[in-house]
Amino acid sequence: MSFILGLTGSIGMGKSTTAAMFAEEGLPVWDADATVHRLYAPGQPAALAIGQLFPSAIDENGGVNRATLRALIQSDASLLDRLNAAVHPLVAEDRAQFLTANASAEIILLDIPLLYESRIDTACDAVAVVSAPPDVQRDRVLARGAMTEAEFQTLLARQMPDAEKRARADYVIATTSLEAARQAVKDVLADIRRRIAEHA
C-alpha cells in the first residue's frame, strides 16, 4: 500500500517547483492543475461540461478560454460553485485512476492547491505545505503577468490562510531558496521512509 503525501500551498508559494523536486526523487506526482488544464482541452470532459454552463468561455477550437472563464467568475462569484460542481468529479476520477495505476509505488505525491479546502487531506497519510513570506508570494504572482492585483486578492480570499495551512501540516517546506526547499524535500522523504519502516 502506497504512502500518500499531499502537497499544498497558496498561489506563488513555490508548490510546482517543489513538486518537481519530489518527482526528481522518483515519486509519481499527480498534479491537480495540470489535470484541469488537460480536461479543459478541446473535446475533453470538462471543456464539454463548461461549454454547457458557460458557452462564452469556450474558444473557437472547443477548448476553455481560461482568461474568459476567470473574468466571468470575477464578475459573479456564485458561478464558481457551478463550475466546481461540474469539474471536481472529473478531476477526482482522474486522481483515482492515477492512484490505481501507481499502486506499487512506495510514496505517491498529490499536488493539490486546494487540498484542505476540498478536504482531500483526509485521504492523505501526511501533508506537506510550501510557504514563503507574503511579500515574496505577491511579487512572484504579479511577476508572472498572468494575473492582476485584484484577481490575486480574489484568489487569496478563497484559499485557506497560509498560517492555518502551516499549523495543520505534518511538514512545512520553506521555499525562500531552491537549496532550502530541495533539502527539505529530502528531509521529508527520509522521515516518511522512517515512518514506513516503523510500521512494516
- pLDDT digit string, tens, across residues 82-123: 998 999 999 999 999 999 999 999 999 999 998 998 899 999
What's the CA angle centered on 145, arms 139 and 148, to 5 degrees?
80
pLDDT exceeds 90 at position 61: yes
The answer to whether residues 115 and 8 touch, using CB atoms and an 8 Å cutoff, is yes
Tell me if 168 sits within 8 A of 122, measured CB to CB.
no
Could you tell me how far CA 50 lies from the centroid of its own chain? 20
d(CA 181, CA 198): 26
Q: What are phi and psi of 82, to 5 degrees?
A: -65, -40
Predicted TM-score of the model (pTM): 0.89
